[in-house]
Structure 1
Amino acid sequence: MGAFETLRIANTSLGAHQVWLDALAGNIANANTVKRTDEAAFRATYVVFDPRADGGVDVEGFAQGDAEGRLVHSPDHPLADEDGYVRLPDLDMSAQMSQLVMAQRGYQASVQVTKTAQDTYTAALQIGAR
């Protein structure tokens, strides 16, 4: 595989990991979003990836979490209904944080592959210039 091919594949990975990081950041930022019980809960965004035949990856689309969320008894909250309940997102924060670590490491690995491919290409150009 040539340096340009490696750069192209790493570029698809960088883009996909960036989208994943953005989705996770939105989910984590809204993990404690409170809604009235007659409203839909914040719906988490999950990225759906599609592997390419050439080794790259594309973002196929997005899946949304459950709008039902979970009911929490919080009678002192200003949005609580007459029974004292509010609606929160049904997010597993430990799963979100684990995915965040995976997405960060994947992004970092893609950056390193890109740097190595660039260094290889630069070295090949220097050999040809001699």
Structure 2
Amino acid sequence: MSMFQIFNVSGSAVSAQSQRLNTVASNLANADTVAGPDGTAYKARQVVFQTELMGAQAVQGGLPPDGVAAAAGVRVSTVVEDNTPGRRVHDPKNPSADGDGYVTYSNVNAVEEIVNMISASRSYQNNIEVMNTAKSLLQKTLQMGQG
């Protein structure tokens, strides 16, 4: 893998983790929402990642013509909704209560979302650090060539 492919691989991971952070933020923002008039509450969303070959040389069954293996990055393949039922609380005075006096809240688990946020944030930071290290190595290589 060339040094320049490192930027493509880490860049794809930064982009994917950024989308994961946005999804976590959306989930946390809707953690205490109640079911709307249609009776359905917000459903937590999770990002699904998929490996992606980087570069134009994605060749089936072997190496590209130059003999260098293609690098593998990551991309968001889809965002899925969690179909577990929402939390139901008995509160007959709430205007959103159903006929039995229950209010249905979203199925977002705030603790799990905070863990997802920390994980995504650390992954994002690690990939930024990889790019900064590669940049520094390339700059030092150029400096060696000048002297």
| Uncovered stretches (5+) of structure 1, i.e. residues with no partner | none
Describe the superposition over 1:30-85 as per-residue Cα deviations: whole angstroms up to 9, x where unpaired: 00001257521101111010023523111111111227423221223221123221
Pairwise CA distance, 1:19: 0.5
Pairwise CA distance, 1:106: 0.4
Number of the residue aligned with 1:70? 87
Q: Secondary structure at the match of 1:52?
A: strand
C-alpha contact (below 8 Å) 1:70/1:90 kept by paired residues: yes
Q: Which amino acid aligns with 1:128?
A: G
Pairwise CA distance, 1:129: 2.3
Number of the residue aligned with 1:56? 73
Q: Which amino acid aligns with 2:49?
A: F
Number of the residue aligned with 1:88? 105
Q: Which amino acid aligns with 2:118?
A: V
Q: Which amino acid aligns with 1:69?
A: G
Tell me which stretches of 4 or more aligned residues in structure 1 moved more than 4 Å.
none
Between stretches 20-29 and 36-45, larger displacement belongs to: 36-45
Number of the residue aligned with 1:16? 16
Number of equivalent positions:
130
TM-score by length of 2: 0.80
| Uncovered stretches (5+) of structure 2, i.e. residues with no partner | 54-70
Q: Percent of pairs identical after alignment?
A: 32
Cα RMSD after superposing both structures: 1.8
TM-score by length of 1: 0.89
Q: Which amino acid aligns with 1:120?
A: L
Q: Which has the larger radius of gyration?
A: 2
Q: Distance in 2 between matches of 1:127 and 1:97?
A: 45
Describe the superposition over 1:73-116 as per-residue Cα deviations: whole angstroms up to 9, x where unpaired: 12232211232211111122211111111001000101100110
C-alpha contact (below 8 Å) 2:88/2:104 kept by paired residues: yes
